[in-house]
Structure 1
Amino acid sequence: MDPERDAAGEDLNAGRDAGEPVTDDYPGTAPWAFTGTLHRVAVDVSGQPFVDLEREAAAMLARE
Structure 2
Amino acid sequence: MNVGRDGGAPVTSDYPFDRPWALEGATIDQVIVDVSGEPYVDLEKEALAMMSRD
- Into which bin does the TM-score normalised by the smaller protein fall? 0.5 to 0.7
Q: Report the structure number with the largest CA radius of gyration.
A: 2
Q: CA deviation at 1:17?
A: 2.5
In structure 2, C-alpha distance between the alignment counterparts of 1:26 and 1:45, rounded to whole Å: 26
Structure having the higher helix fraction is 1
TM-score after normalising by structure 1: 0.60
Greater RCO, CA 8 A, separation 6+: 1
- RMSD between superposed Cα atoms in Å: 1.8
Gaps of 5+ in 1: 1-11
How many residue pairs get aligned? The number is: 53
Gaps of 5+ in 2: none
- Identical amino acids, percent of aligned pairs: 58
Q: Which residue of 1 aligns with 2:35?
A: 45
User: Could you list the runs of 4 or more consecutive aligned residues of structure 1 that deviate by over 4 angstroms after TM superposition?
Assistant: none
